[in-house]
Structure 1
């Protein structure tokens, strides 16, 4: 599955100009431009997503449906040549903060950090299973679209800079803090093979997954597209 907190690291997305509690840094080349949506949520001054969303860069369900319709359908690609090391992570964001710590700060409540920017206290609610956690060590930073899934749906053909951007994207709904148990249950599976156990999260999950795949021009399989449609159907109209 390869998405555990201790093994990821990379350079930040080119669209990234994020400031989170003093953790900020220069953007790196190679990130894709966000596709116009007309409905993407913008982060607040503290870096947190606006409008009650858990993730940044979210679009409404109508836009997500349009994005999903525009995705190329293709069979599952090969894992030949895949290595997590080809997606350099976690990126340094400045002031000793890396991408993991930025996400922990963004996604938590009353988060305090030590001199090395490590979260030492706070409260987090995991989107996937609804579990509330007060120990940062029990949280993983999940890639919404896993690196391995990205590889087999198009990232195998990217250059190193684009893979780094994908692995550290703080602008689109690609990174979030969730319980280690739920993250490891998900592994690198697509939505047709794994769904968040908390069904109330399906609307956000489906919109986020679709937006990331649309932003990066990744393909979907027929079963994956069908389940994403099911997830979007759980959104309130």
Structure 2
């Protein structure tokens, strides 16, 4: 018996044996016709869905709060701290001196549209203010977790803005303060929602409604 004929006979016998045992034999390429399962979109893919997924709760108390409970600005190496890194990232033509001291550059403050050339006129704002975070669940964190939050260079929590706009905001949430530049409302709301989602912070009903209204400007 030739090799090809022998192989065909063996294959036929295997098929008959499997059929007799009640084992189904799929025709070629049957598996490729079955669609792969798909997961529902993550809330983060849609800011409105992300907002809806946040836990709504009354604001907590300020008991025990201190900015010292959120250590900042932490060292980031090579003589730079968190503030220095934010200024370098967000400025144009940034100049530095020894020890990572920022000596000049140009920054546009997104909150009020002011162009700043003196780094001393800038504050690094926490998109979700430290006290607001405390009232939204950060009071239950460790100091190490609060330090990470206060120095988060990986997300949308830190932004260089004019000192005057930062201080007008203070520790208020979106229900009580919005950036004077309305064109920035969409980005601001997205940033707040993203930060609160990342850190599992709560929102109160008024804040939820204010963020939802700003998201409608997107």
Pick the aligned partner of 1:127 from 104, 107, 110. 110
Separation in 2, partners of 1:159, 1:219:
17
Matches within 5 A, 1:22-61: none
Separation in 2, partners of 1:171, 1:231:
24
Separation in 2, partners of 1:134, 1:74:
41
TM-score (norm 1): 0.73
Q: 1:11-43 CA deviation, whole Å, 9 max, x = no partner? A: xxxxxxxxxxxxxxxxxxxxxxxxxx889xxxx
Could you say if the C-alpha distance between residues 208 and 74 of structure 1 is closer, same or farther in structure 2, counting changes exceeding 3 Å?
A: same
Counterpart in the other structure of 2:29: none
Q: Are residue 138 (structure 1) and residue 124 (structure 2) matched?
A: no
Segments ≥4 residues shifted beyond 3 Å: none
Count of paired positions: 178
Deviation at 1:118, TM superposition (A): 1.4
Matched residue SS, 1:196: coil
Deviation at 1:66, TM superposition (A): 1.6
Higher alpha-carbon Rg: 2
Separation in 2, partners of 1:172, 1:67:
16
Separation in 1, partners of 2:42, 2:117:
36
Counterpart in the other structure of 1:83: 66
Separation in 2, partners of 1:38, 1:66:
8
Name stretches of at least 5 consecutive residues in structure 1 with no aligned partner.
Answer: 1-36, 40-58
Separation in 2, partners of 1:223, 1:75:
10
TM-score (norm 2): 0.79
* Higher relative contact order, chain-length normalized (CA < 8 Å, sep 6+): 1
Of Structure 1 and Structure 2, which has the larger fraction of its residues in helix? 2
Deviation at 1:64, TM superposition (A): 1.3
Deviation at 1:207, TM superposition (A): 0.1
Separation in 2, partners of 1:75, 1:145:
16
Pick the aligned partner of 2:179 from 170, 174, 196. 196
Matched residue SS, 1:228: helix
